[in-house]
Amino acid sequence: MIVVITGASSGIGFAAAQALTELGHKVYGVSRSLAPAAAWEQFAADVTDLAELARVVESITQRHGVIDVLIACAGVGLASPSDGGGEGNLDAARRLFDVNFFGVAEMVRLCLPRMKQAEKGSIILISSMAGVFPLPYQAFYSVSKAALCAYAAALTAEAQPFGIHITALMPGGVRTPFTDKRQKYENLFDNPCYPGYEKAYTAISREERTGMPAEQVVAAILRVLKQKKPPTLKAVGGKYRFMRLLRRVMPEGMVQKIIRKKYSS
């Protein structure tokens, strides 16, 4: 298969590129920085740069004629009050959406027509359980991941007639460099307008540092690629599959109480 992976320089994207290369697939990594000594071909491109993305996809298509799989892993994190915390912090939220959602949509815009022409293909979007359980002081990140779930559901209805499968994977805490790269505003930790901000940031970071390895998410990716009828939305990890089930049946008030107790109160 010809596989394109965004965010392939570290974390889930790197682990996916490594695993698929070892399985004999032709993998192309797309990321702002290049992974040293990678066994797959890499393109240095920012997912918010439309001209760069078009150049990458055109280059791959010219070589192979098709793109069989798109795995969208590129993403950024932001721990911020839901009102932005002042000081122009909503600019960071806009940047987050440019990467986490519109960067995905641009790659789909470039790859999906080629898949339709070939009448086959798979698109896997790395969402998050935060899209199902929106977290305090991670509102913008949570919403961007919820948007990917909705996007996958809408894409599924459009792509299925062409034999193309769409899946949004929703892992919980994953041990990757993503945690330490998350943007935050430490100057607001002691601000009485944002009680619980520091606790929420600490709790989320701890959950990731003690969470599942990236390889567990990759195993879910490989299972999806083998399935004839993969699910549109899929939680990763037994605990998180159970949590998603609970989310469907628990009253909203109880959900909010649990989230506040764990992350902010």
Pick the catalytic residue from 31, 128, 144, 145.
145
**Minimal CA–CA distance to 207: which of 184, 234, 240, 250?**
240
Q: Is 141 a catalytic residue?
A: yes
Q: Is 127 a catalytic residue?
A: yes
Pick the catalytic residue from 9, 80, 142, 144.
9
Residue 32 in tokens: 């702002």
Pick the catalytic residue from 31, 128, 137, 141.
141
Rounded to an integer, what distance in angstroms lies between the CA atom of residue 155 and that of residue 170?
Answer: 17
Alpha helix (H) ranges present in 65-186?
Answer: 90-97, 103-118, 139-159, 178-181
- Show the CA angle centred on residue 237, arms to residues 199 and 25, nearest 5°: 120
Task: Report the SS3 class of residue 225.
Answer: helix
Rounded to an integer, what distance in angstroms lies between the CA atom of residue 237 and that of residue 207?
Answer: 14
Q: Is 82 a catalytic residue?
A: no
**Largest CA-CA distance found in the chain, in angstroms, rounded:** 57
Pick the catalytic residue from 127, 128, 142, 144.
127
Q: Is 26 a catalytic residue?
A: no
* Residues designated as active site: 9, 127, 141, 145
